[in-house]
Each structure stands twice: as structure tokens, then as C-alpha cells.
Amino acid sequence: MIELRRIGFSYSDGATPVLRDVDLSVEDGELMLLAGPTGVGKSTLLGVIAGLVPTFTGGTLTGDVLLDGSSIIDLPARERAQSIGFVGQNPGAWFVTDTVEEELAFGMEQLGVAPATMRRRVEETLDLLGIADLRDRDLRTLSGGQQQRVGIGAVLTTHPRLLVLDEPTSALDPTAAEDVLATLTRLVHDLGVAVVLAEHRLERVVPFADRMCVLGADPAAPGGVRVGEPADLLLTSPVAPPLVELGRAAGWNPLPLTVRDARRRARPLLDTLGPPPPREAPEQVNRVPAVVAERVGVVRDSAAVLTGVDLTLSPGTVTALMGRNGAGKSTLMWAIQGRLGASSGRLRVDGGDPHQARPDERRTRVGLVPQNPADLLYLESVREECAAADADAAHARGVPVEGECAALLERLVPDIDPSTHPRDLSEGQRLALAVAIVLTARPGILLLDEPTRGLDYTAKHALARMLRDLAAGADRPDAPARAVLVATHDVEFVAGVADAMLVLADGEIVSSGPVDQVIAESPAFAPQVSKVLGTGWLHVDEVTARLRDRLGGEGGTQ
Amino acid sequence: MRVPRELHPVAWWVWAIGLAVVASITTNPILLGLLLGVATLVVLTCRGDQPWSRSFRLYVWIGVLTIVIRIVFRVLLGGDVPGHLLFDLPSIPLPAWAAGISLFGPFTREELVAAFYEGLRLATVLICIGAANALANPKRLMKSLPPALYEIGTTMVVAITIVPQLVDSARRVRAAQQLRGAERGRLGRLRGLRRILVPVLEDAFERALALAAGMDARGYGRAGPATRNQRRLTGALMLGGLCGICTGVYAVLDQTAPRLLAGPMLAAGCAAAVLGFVSAGRRVGRTRYRAARWAWPEYAVAASGLVAAVTCWIALADQPAMAHPGVIGLPSVTLAAVVGVLVGVLPVWVAPPPLTTANRRGAGPRADARLDPKPTERPTVRQKARTP
Amino acid sequence: MRRPAVLAAVPLRPRSVAVLALASVVGVIMLFWPLVLRVDPGATERVDPPFLFLVLLPLILVVVLAEVSEGGMDARVLAVLGVLTAVNAVLRALSAGTAGVELVFFLLVLGGRVFGPGFGYVLGCTSLFASALLTAGVGSWLPFQMLVAAWVGMGAGLLPRRITGRAELAMLVGYGVLACYAYGLLMNMWGWPFIAGIQVPGQDSSELAYVPGAPAAENLHRFLIYTLLTSTGGWDTARALTTALAIALLGPAVLSTLRRAARTARVVRTDT
């Protein structure tokens, strides 16, 4: 139905092309998954299909895009709207109107659909997506999953034959993501809509994909793609869900794509592996907890967001904070930071009430990286940001500070050009810059609010390593051990980085403890490896390490 | 029983402008007082519970302030109306370059009354406009703009939508900036503003470009059916119309110019401009979902304003003593003028009851959801892990 | 073939320029009617402020806006316009509470500078209109405020392009100060006959009131004294100061932000 022929794209003349000679075709009723590391051009490719690239990004596009055999490359996005529906990365930012119902009608109004037909299609779409009870809701009050479904509905009403989605589940908690994916499968099966979607969280989408297109698979041919069956491509893909990594480690062929497949094949592997690795609690001897909360309640805009939170954070540990969107994770972080005061209970950070501390004291005790790290940045180059951070730190610590922020940044992410505009950095680099700025004041406690959004597996590995180093105080010779708290939705990331885990729901901690215990209690938060091998196993690295031991050992005896 | 709904915003504006026209052609305090009563009564019975509904009080205050300012000005600048002396302030003559004007001086009761009448007229015009502000939904008003203004209307809707986001964004950035040091030194506050303004602006632009991409991808701004000739016609009509208006306005002011160039020319210019405007709208090939309808209540409300304006215009045309009563005796009114003003109270009976939180469909989520911090969906932790 | 197309925010075709010019002439006459008015010496009737203009000016503004956006407005321009309008409206609403601090013109001048005269004109109109909607300030004064603000925005867009760097900033500060006083003066011109009153032969009058039929120079004299007494010393100067300060301190950062937004929207498409 839609066909890309020898598509090439670069942002400016002479720059390395983002896409080169891309050939891709999608048939009716097919679900095509785009995968690849960050910055490899997934969103660009989707934009080319929808007609938004290069209009909105600038750059040079070559090649041809065909819809049912006729070229549409010169048609702007608005003229493609009736056949191609595009849902962007953050549908909340795309809403034009106020209410769900008006939003669903907006596209049809633009296309000049007759009012009676509009009325009927809105009702059909509300039912199809299961959002009929939301019809009068203010769009701003919707949860992430609801927003995503309304965003899909808003393009569906014009009856497009192809749906293009950019990371539909990346920002969602596991259950909301399942709802969205169920909706998509229903569209593909019942209506025969073709779907092209890009996603970082492959573990969620791979089971639903008919075919897969991997970008950046071949280092020898940058900008090229590989298209084929998911099971074949994932053998060599540079990005792979943990399940596939497990399959690769165990040498399974064909690769399992669902947890069910993998479970069936896991028995012999479990025999080889033996008992799960012992998990020693991080040494807490001689360590005074950095943060202690007892029945802490926080009221925000006259609504009780936290009702009774108990927690302890110790230096040297990484703690993961999980829970549904809106459960109060950010509020808890801001309370520990000290900007929000506890309305009840007792909260002690380094022995003092953080809300009573002066802003400078707060910064030297607790470093918080907010959900949107760009909020911290206001200058025009990385160099200026670092200099400002040094000056601030000097003021807060009372000693001259020079070059510390830049040095930290260099350790976290090497080779950032200091004259880059902070807004032009990639998500991962921008996060690292924010972390460096916050750490320049040398806080003993580090809080990160959803740092994993928009990061691919490689970047998440790097972040995990960075957080472990920071917790252990391994980033500087004289660095102390730090307490690190990370709010995230990403269970796989948690499995790789955290010692302890807290689950927050409805303003209370509903489960807490070492990661494996919490996962055993709450299967919804289990990473894929645990789903296959049991709760003792959290991460592929553990499996590969054990396999290396066992097989290496066997090799030695033979 | 009448079903609660929002009356078309344009109907309210027509009604209010009708009343404002009445107010603008008279300084008779009895008629103006009646008008104020009519406007207030209609606002109190017909307004809903939206944020803009509360703006009426503000307009009343502005009206009161207008009258006070008028009177203060009279006291300050003095006057020369003879009559009952209220108080006498020492007169301060200004230097010669100020055209021999003197400040303060004696102040008479007649002067007070004259200033009050003038101020009351302006205040009444303002309060009539305020009534429209309180009654008409501004967003729906923007959506009811004629097709030629579709882009501008959309910009306004986008702007009105962005405002609450901006406030949220500013609050978030302010909190985030606390994580770094504060600006110190002189002008630190203004520089501190930069630390908020820049991220908020960047953020807003990012969102706005995303929004634009979204709108574009959903068909916004598709080429309409207008041909080259139609566009030429549009241009000619607009230019011609503006020329006509330009001449007309000048002729209206220069009373020695031929009268043919005043009223008729102005009317012709306006007609051409309006035609050009309509013609410009034909390029737009869009439809409206559940467009705000004009049913009989809309016509009745709009008509009541127009009838009031026309009746009073006719009633006052040959009665300068009633339109602008002197300051000596008591003002008088005729029955026709009073009836004309009272027609404006019709919306109290014909307008449908306003939408409120209580009677809105789906009772409440729109208003209540913002107070509820957690979307009430389902328990977080599912009892059984679903295999993907 | 490659044809680079820069973000032409609101392109002004010759026809649009003609419409803008005509509308500006009408606007000037409507603002300065007390000076233009010539009374028939034989007439004795009383002179009323021409309330007709309050209806006419919105019509003219609407025609100009329709003309400027004729042929469709790019979604990106619309988004940028929406953002700047919203920010301006918020700034105005915020500054309305603090006496003397008036921040509307600061962003209007910078926006006009970066995105051009057509954009500046529309931004002036939409900013004032949005802030009126927000702060419930819709009234008979609004069309005139929109018109004058539109001129301010357009003027900023017409400033010479070649000047850059510190000179550009100095120029913008100077223009901002000028625009603030001009805005105050023009709005006073509009309000003068209403506030100071119109002299009626044989009846009351205050000494600064407008005298219909008097020579234009004499009325202008009266008006200038009125405006000097009422606003130039206080309100207008405070506004000019805050605007100048805001442009000088926030200007560089905001200019670069706006230019980044303009840059993102730049397109080079190859036809193959």
C-alpha cells in the first residue's frame, strides 16, 4: 500500500545522512515495527511517511514515497491526512481542542466531512477505543494511556488506511501500555488498518509485530535498514529486549518472542543455571540512613497526594520508586528535596527537616533531577551552563569551585562539544548535563525523576552504570557513598540498577524491600527474565555470568 | 421545561451592542439607570458558572471608576458653569504656554451633575459590554468566527489553550530553578525572570511546534477551492471597500464636504469590504462538528437588543432635551424610550437556562477532574501477570 | 533543483501592503478625529464623539486580518503566533497588577523584529485581544489598542535588518522607548474627548476639553497639555523604563530563543 523508494535524508548539506537508500513497503492490515538505537532516524522515517519531514525539521529529502502506486512525496502532511494518520510521541502536546469529543472531530472538520457523518464516526470511534465514558472530559485531565488512546482516536475518525505511531507506549506504565497495544491489535485485526510504529520498549511490542524494520543494524552501512521477520532480525539487532538477549545467551533458535514461548524452553536452561544467585543486602553496617520518613503526608493544591509514606534511604544504595502515573512519585521527591513540606508525619534528611533548610543548604544535601531536565537549563551553551553551576556551587559551599561541573560531565558523557546549545543535545546528554549541574553542589543524596524516558537500551545501560558509580562514590577519589532514588516505569531498568524497590500507590507505599522480593509480591512489575526463569533471576547479565561460570567450568574439566 | 444549554455567543454580543448603542446616544440618567438595571438583571439570571461569568463585577467596578474619574477631572480642571456653589478651591493658573488653563477653582452642583451624566453614559456602555463578556463563551465565540478569520480564530484558541499550560510550565521551571542557585546582585530579580522566561518560552515553542505538526498531520490548512479570479475579486473588493471607508470617514468629520461622500460613501465602502471578507472566506473548505445552532432563542435575544437600539434611536431623534437633559431641572422621559429600553430585558424569559456544573452532561468530570490528583482507573498491581 | 525557503512568517504581498496602508490611514483619521473634524459654521447642534467609529474600526481590523491570512497561514507560524500571544497576554495580566510595570511591548517588539512586519502586525492585534479576553478587558477602547499595538509590532519588523549585535539591541531599546510613548500618546488621543469631555457651546466646559470647531493647532495644544498632565510624567515613563530594561536584560536570550524557533522551521526540499 505504502512504499518508500531509496529514501535519503540529511539535516544539512554535507552532514552525515540520517537515512540512506531506505526501501520499505507496508501492506494493508500489517503491523510493522521500527526499531533501532536512539538517534538513528526512526522518528525521521515516520515523519517522511506522514509528510512532516522535512517541512518541520528542515533538511534535504531524496527518493520517493508512493501511496497505492502514485507518488505523494510532494504532498504536504495536511493533504495526506485522509489516508495516513500520524500520532506523535507525546499526544498530549498535540491536542488542539478542549474535550475528547471535539478532539475526535477536529480532523474531520478539516477534511470537510458532513456533520451527520462526523457525528456517527465520533460515536463509532468512542466505542471502538473504549473511551465513551471520557467523551466530555477535559483533555488535560486524562492519564497517559487515555491520552494515547484519544490521540489514536483523533486520527482514526478520518478513516486513514495507515496509522503511524511514534513511541506509543514509552511513557506509559505497564498496564496502560497493554491497553494501548490491545487497541492497536484490534484495529489491525478488525479494520485491516496498516500500522507502522517505532518503539524503544521492544519487549512490549515485538509479540504483536508482523514484520520488523531495524535501523542502524549494519555499522558498515549507516542510514540503511533491514526488514524481515522479527525472530530473524532480532538475532543480530543492535537493540533487543531482555527476552531476546536471554535467548541469544542460551543459544535458542528460533528466538522466543513471547514470554510463553520462552517459558516452554526454559526448563533445560534452568537446570544448567542452578539456583538463582544469592543477593546480599548492601552493607548497611555503620551507615546512618540519609533519609528517614515516618508516616509522611503531603498536601498539594488542597488535595492529599501522599497519605502515609514510610521509607529509609541509605548511602551506597540505589532505590527504585515505581507506581502508576499520578501516584505521587514526583511529590515524594520534592518533599525529600524540601520544597514541599510534610503536612503530617516526620521527614528527616541528614537528621534535619528539609523544608526548614535554606535553599543553599538543600542543594548541598539533596540533588534532584526533575522530570524534564531541560527546565534546569537556561543558558546558550553547555560551557555557560557549567560555569553557572560552578558559581552556584561555590556560593552554596563557600569555597571556590572551578571546572568541576565540566569534569563531572566529561566523566558521565565524554566528548560533548562545550559550545553546543543545551537544547540541541540528545535526551541522554541533556540528562547527564542536568545530573552534572546538580552534583556540582556535592549533595549526598541524589533523586532522579523518570530519567529513562526516551533512552534506548545502550543509554539505559550507561545510565545504570553511572548511578551505581554515584551510589558507591566511585566517580571521584574523595567522593562519599550516596543514596540514590530513581522514579521510573521501566522494570527492566530497575532490575539492572536497583538494590531496593518501593511501589507507591494512592499516596502510600504498598510494597518495599529488596528488588527480588518486591517483584515476587507484585508480578505486574516483574522483568521479563523473572517471568521466564522465576523471581530469583532479574537480569540477563546475571544469567550470562552464571552461564560463563558453568560452561567455562565444564570446559575446564573436560 | 427548557433544556439548559449555552446560547450562541454572537447572540449575546448583538444584544449587548444594541444596549450599548442606546447608552451611547443619551445622557439621560433615567434611561441609563434603566439600562443598567436591564443588563444586570439579564446577567444575573442567564450567566453560567464558568470563569468568564464572574467578570461582570469587574466591569461594574470599572464603570464606577469611570464616573469617579470624570468627576475628579472636573474638580481638578475647574469649570465655568454658574450655579449652586459646592466648594471653592484656590485656583492655580498655569503658565502662558498652557493656554491660560487654571487648575481647581470653584465647583458647582451643576458641574457635578454634568460630569456625572457624562460619566454615567460611558459607564453604561462599558457595563453593557461587560454583560456580553460575562454571558458569552469566548472560546465558542472564536470558533464562530467567519471562515475568512479561521486562522486568526485558531490562533486565539491556541493562545487561550496555551495560557494555563504556560502557568503550569512557569511553576515547574521555577521549582526546577530552585535546584540551582538564585541570581544575586543588582537587577537579580529581572535576571531571575530570564531564568524562568527562557525555559518556559523554549518549552512553549517546542510544544507549539509539536501542536502545529499535529494540526498539519490532521489536515489543518488544506487548500480550499478558491480560483485565481476569485482571489482577484476578493482583493479588489477589500481594497475598494477600504478606499470608500477612508473617504467616508473623512467626509463625516469634515462637515463642509459634500454629504454624498459621507454617509452613502461610507455605507458603500463597508458593503464592499464585507463582500470581500465573505469572498475571502470561500477558500475555506471545512465543516463544523456540532456547530452552535441559531434557534429561536438566539434570534429573540439578538432581536431584543436591536429593537431596543432602533426604538430608542427613533424616540430620541427629535427630542434633544430628553436625550441630553440640562443640568438645572429634573430629566424627563417618554413612554416610547422607556419601552425601548425595557425590550432589552427579554432574554430573561427567552434564553435557555445556563449550563452549570450541576446540570452539565456527565455531571462533573470536566470541573471536578482537576481537583482529583489521581485518575481513578484501576488498581496498579494486577493480581495475575498477563503474558504479553 | 534546490530552492531554499526561509520561514516567511506572514508574507506581505503588494496587495496586503496596500490594504495595510489604507487601513492605517483610516486608523489615523479615526484616532485624530478631534483634529480633523471641521464643523459647519452655521450648525448649532452638539458634537458627540463619533460612536460610529467604534463599530467601523473592528470591521477594518477584521478585513486587514482576513487579507493578511488570505491564502492560508502556515501551521507553524500559527503555533508561534499562538505562543507569543499567550505569553504576551499572561505578561500583561501579570503586570496589570503591579503599577508601572508593563511588559507587553517587550515581546511584541522582539517578535516583530525576528518574524517580520506582517507577523508583528498580527501579533499586536492578537496579543491585545487575547489579554482583553483573559482579563475581561473587552471594551470600546480595545479596537484602538489593537490597532496601535499592531503598528508597534509592524514598526519593529520594519527596522533595518543589517544591524546586528549590540547595535541591534540598542536600536530595539530605543524603539521600545519610542513605541511606549507613542502608544500612550495615541491612546490618550482616543480617550481625550471621552475623558476630558467635549465643549458644548453655551454650556459647561473644562479647560482641557476638546473644542469642536476650534483650529486644529489650538486643540492639539490642549491635548498635549492634557496628555502631559495625565500620563506622560507617570504611567508612560514607567512603561517606557520597564520596557527598555526588559529588552536590554532579557533581549539577547529571548532573541536567540525566537531565532531558534524560526530556524527549526526552515526547509530545504529537493525535487527529484
Q: Any CB–CB contact under 8 A between C270 and chain A?
A: yes
What does A272-284 look like in DSSP terms, one character per residue? HH-SPPP-PPPP-
**pLDDT for A321:** 93
* B19 and B126 together in one domain: yes
Q: Which grid coordinates are listed for A433?
A: 548535563
Give the confidence band of C98 by pLDDT, cuts at 50, 70, 90. very low
DSSP state of A190: I
User: Domain range spanning residue B287?
Assistant: 226-291
pLDDT averaged over every residue in chain A = 85
Contacts for A282 with CB less than 8 Å, ≥ 6 apart: A314, A316, A317, A499
Half-sphere exposure of A347 (CA within 13 A, CB side): 24
A336 within 8 A of A353, measured Cβ to Cβ: no
Kindly determine whether residue B180 and residue A392, on different chains, have CB atoms separated by under 8 Å.
yes
**pLDDT for C252:** 86
DSSP state of B261: G
Sign of CA dihedral B272, B278, B279, B280: positive
Contacts for A516 with CB less than 8 Å, ≥ 6 apart: A276, A279, A530, A535, A536, A538
Strand order across the beta sheet in which A2-10 lies: A19-26, A2-10, A60-67, A70-71
Kindly determine whether residue A531 and residue B387, on different chains, have CB atoms separated by under 8 Å.
yes
Domain-located, residue A539? no
**pLDDT for A212:** 92
Domain-located, residue A285? no
Mean pLDDT of all residues in C189-195: 76
How far, in Å, are C26, C127, C147 from residue C23 at the CA level? 5, 19, 9
Of A61, A380, A423, the CB nearest to C269: A61
Kindly determine whether residue B245 and residue C254, on different chains, have CB atoms separated by under 8 Å.
no
Query: Looking at A214, A240, A266, which one is the last position of a domain?
Result: A240
Q: What is the 3-state secondary structure (H, E, C) of A358-391?
A: CHHHHHHHEEEECCCHHHHCCCCCHHHHHHHHHH
Please report, as a single letter, which amino acid is at residue C179. Answer: A
* A336 and A234 together in one domain: no
The rounded Cα C150 to chain-centroid distance in angstroms is: 4
How far, in Å, are A268, A336, A382, A475, C2 from residue A467 at the CA level? 35, 19, 22, 10, 48
Give the confidence band of B383 by pLDDT, cuts at 50, 70, 90. very low
**pLDDT for C41:** 61
Query: Looking at B244, B263, B291, which one is the last position of a domain?
Result: B291
**pLDDT for C237:** 80
Structure confidence by residue, pLDDT tens digits, B45-75: 888 877 677 778 878 887 888 788 778 877 7
Give the confidence band of B36 by pLDDT, cuts at 50, 70, 90. very high
**pLDDT for A56:** 77
- Does residue C233 carry a pLDDT above 90? no
* A356 and A470 together in one domain: yes
pLDDT averaged over every residue in chain C = 75
- Does residue C243 carry a pLDDT above 70? yes
User: How far is C84 from C262, CA to CA, in rounded Å?
Assistant: 13
* B213 and B160 together in one domain: yes
Nearest-by-CA chain A residue for C3: A60
**pLDDT for A556:** 37
Right CATH for C8-28+48-266 from 1.10.1760.20, 3.40.50.300, 3.60.20.30, 3.10.180.10: 1.10.1760.20
* B30 and B156 together in one domain: no
Burial class of residue B87 (count of CB atoms within 10 Å of its CB; 0-12, 13-18, 19+): exposed
What does B84-99 look like in DSSP terms, one character per residue? SEEEEPPPEEPPGGGT
CA distance C76 to chain A (A): 8
Pick the closest to residue C23 from C111, C104, C124 (CA basis): C124
Structure confidence by residue, pLDDT tens digits, A444-502: 899 998 888 777 777 888 888 888 888 888 877 778 888 999 998 888 889 888 989 99
**pLDDT for A446:** 92
**Structural domain tally of chain B?**
3
User: How far is A104 from A125, CA to CA, in rounded Å?
Assistant: 8
C177 within 8 A of C244, measured Cβ to Cβ: yes
- Does residue A117 carry a pLDDT above 70? yes
Mean pLDDT of all residues in A262-270: 86
Kindly determine whether residue C59 and residue B216, on different chains, have CB atoms separated by under 8 Å.
no
Please report, as a single letter, which amino acid is at residue A449. Answer: D
Pick the closest to residue A522 from A368, A324, A337, A379 (CA basis): A324
Give the confidence band of B140 by pLDDT, cuts at 50, 70, 90. confident
Subunits that touch chain B (at least 3 Cβ pairs < 8 angstroms)? Answer: A, C
Kindly determine whether residue C269 and residue A378, on different chains, have CB atoms separated by under 8 Å.
no
Domain-located, residue B383? no
Q: Which grid coordinates are listed for A173?
A: 506504565
User: How far is C45 from A224, CA to CA, in rounded Å?
Assistant: 84
Contacts for C19 with CB less than 8 Å, ≥ 6 apart: B238, B239, B242, C63, C64, C67, C68
Domain-located, residue A266? no
Burial class of residue C113 (count of CB atoms within 10 Å of its CB; 0-12, 13-18, 19+): buried
User: How far is A227 from A22, CA to CA, in rounded Å?
Assistant: 10
Mean pLDDT of all residues in A52-56: 80
Structure confidence by residue, pLDDT tens digits, B70-96: 788 777 766 666 777 777 777 777 665
Residues in chain A closer than 8 A to C2 (CB atoms)? 60
Mean pLDDT of all residues in A410-420: 81
Kindly determine whether residue C221 and residue B99, on different chains, have CB atoms separated by under 8 Å.
yes
- Does residue B387 carry a pLDDT above 50? no
Q: Which of C255, C268, C271 to mutate to test the interface with A (most CBs of A within 10 A)?
A: C268
* A227 and A313 together in one domain: no
Domain segments of chain C: what residues?
A: 8-28+48-266
B:34-93 residues touching chain A, CB 8 A cutoff: none
* A341 and A212 together in one domain: no
Structure confidence by residue, pLDDT tens digits, A335-390: 998 888 888 888 988 888 888 888 888 888 898 998 888 888 888 888 988 998 88
Half-sphere exposure of A370 (CA within 13 A, CB side): 21
Domain-located, residue A132? yes
Kindly determine whether residue B219 and residue A141, on different chains, have CB atoms separated by under 8 Å.
no
- Does residue A234 carry a pLDDT above 50? yes
Contacts for A319 with CB less than 8 Å, ≥ 6 apart: A311, A313, A483, A484, A485, A486, A498, A499, A500, A501, A502
Q: Which of A380, A385, A424 to mutate to test the interface with C (most CBs of C within 10 A)?
A: A380
The rounded Cα A436 to chain-centroid distance in angstroms is: 21
- Does residue B364 carry a pLDDT above 50? no
Length of chain C: 272
* B122 and B20 together in one domain: yes
- Does residue B363 carry a pLDDT above 50? no
Please report, as a single letter, which amino acid is at residue B239. Answer: L
Give the confidence band of A320 by pLDDT, cuts at 50, 70, 90. very high
User: How far is C147 from C151, CA to CA, in rounded Å?
Assistant: 6
* A219 and A315 together in one domain: no
Please report, as a single letter, which amino acid is at residue B89. Answer: L
Mean pLDDT of all residues in B16-27: 85
Q: What is the 3-state secondary structure (H, E, C) of A323-368?
A: CCCCCCHHHHHHHHHCCCCCCEEEEEECCECHHHCCHHHHHHHEEE
CA distance A45 to chain B (A): 15
Structure confidence by residue, pLDDT tens digits, A135-157: 878 787 787 778 888 998 998 89
Give the confidence band of A211 by pLDDT, cuts at 50, 70, 90. very high
Domain-located, residue A459? yes
Structure confidence by residue, pLDDT tens digits, A523-557: 778 888 888 888 788 888 888 888 888 876 544 33
Of A55, A56, A62, the CB nearest to C270: A62
Can you tell me the ipTM of this complex? 0.79
The share of chain A scoring above pLDDT 70, in percent, equals: 96
Contacts for C11 with CB less than 8 Å, ≥ 6 apart: C118
User: Domain range spanning residue A324?
Assistant: 291-505
**pLDDT for C97:** 45
Which element (helix H / strand E) includes A66? strand A60-67
- CATH number of the domain that A358 lies in? 3.40.50.300
Subunits that touch chain C (at least 3 Cβ pairs < 8 angstroms)? Answer: A, B
**pLDDT for A448:** 92
Strand order across the beta sheet in which A84-87 lies: A84-87, A162-166, A194-198, A31-35, A211-215, A225-228
Of C45, C76, C206, the CB nearest to B73: C206
Pick the closest to residue B365 from A324, A101, A331 (CA basis): A101
What does B121-132 look like in DSSP terms, one character per residue? HHHHHHHHHHHH
